[in-house]
Chains A and B, each alone.
Chain A
Amino acid sequence: GAVVSQHPSWVICKSGTSVKIECRSLDFQATTMFWYRQFPKQSLMLMATSNEGSKATYEQGVEKDKFLINHASLTLSTLTVTSAHPEDSSFYICSTTGTGDNEQFFGPGTRLTVL
């Protein structure tokens, strides 16, 4: 599999501020990383696919100007939630594929609470 870390594990911020979440692939050079969001008692929803060296591909309904994704290296992708609002409070999880057959391995997640 692949080992993925995320930082921070949790963050609390005021409405209107921006929050950056880092996702690192520790043992695998990941050309592609995925960002998911999970609201309580709901399933994972793919937000965007992050491609190293190019623009991210966003899912329908996800605002690219609000959720900025940067994948500047093969081991690091960042998600910045700009001008966060309480409705952005959620569990944000990144993942990457390993060297196997399309399975995805998840980071530990970042719990964002916007006051």
Chain B
Amino acid sequence: QKEVEQNSGPLSVPEGAIASLNCTYSDRVSQSFFWYRQYSGKSPELIMSIYSNGDKEDGRFTAQLNKASQYVSLLIRDSQPSDSATYLCAVNRRNNDMRFGAGTRLTVKP
């Protein structure tokens, strides 16, 4: 079992729709969770962090965490073509031991 699992996609949504990205993790002691956006040929950019169960909203982005189910998700509302990228789920287990999922490639079609 991979430490952090994501659907590789590609996930394709029309402009203006909600994109839903999912991630599961295996280590129950994980404490902090992150979503990074990576454009092709570029390095990852932090877009959301979440530490407690529930939802966290920041603009068009909402991160959801369910520690009991070991599940993290990212919703992108009003998706724009500029949101087209690979989204990496990252889980910080302890002491900055961060593990990344393989990423989900999102395409937003105009």
Contacts and interface: CB of A to CB of B under 8 A. Distances in A.
Interface of A: 1, 32, 34, 42-44, 46, 49, 91, 93, 97, 100-109, 111
A46 B98 contact: yes
Output the residue of A32, A34, A104 with the most chain B CB within 10 A: A104
**Interface SS, B side:** strand
Interface stretch (B44-52, B63-71, B73-81): B44-52
B94 to A, nearest CB: 9
A49 B44 CA distance: 18
A77 B101 CA distance: 25
B102 A101 contact: no
B22 interface: no
Q: Which of B43, B49, B102, B103 has the most CB of A within 10 A?
A: B43
A101 B98 contact: no
Given A43-B101, A43-B103, A101-B32, A106 B43 contact: yes
Contacts of B44: 44, 93, 106
B25 interface: no
Residue of B32, B45, B96 with most chain A CB atoms under a 10 A cut-off: B96
Given A103-B34, A105-B46, A107-B43, A44 B100 contact: yes
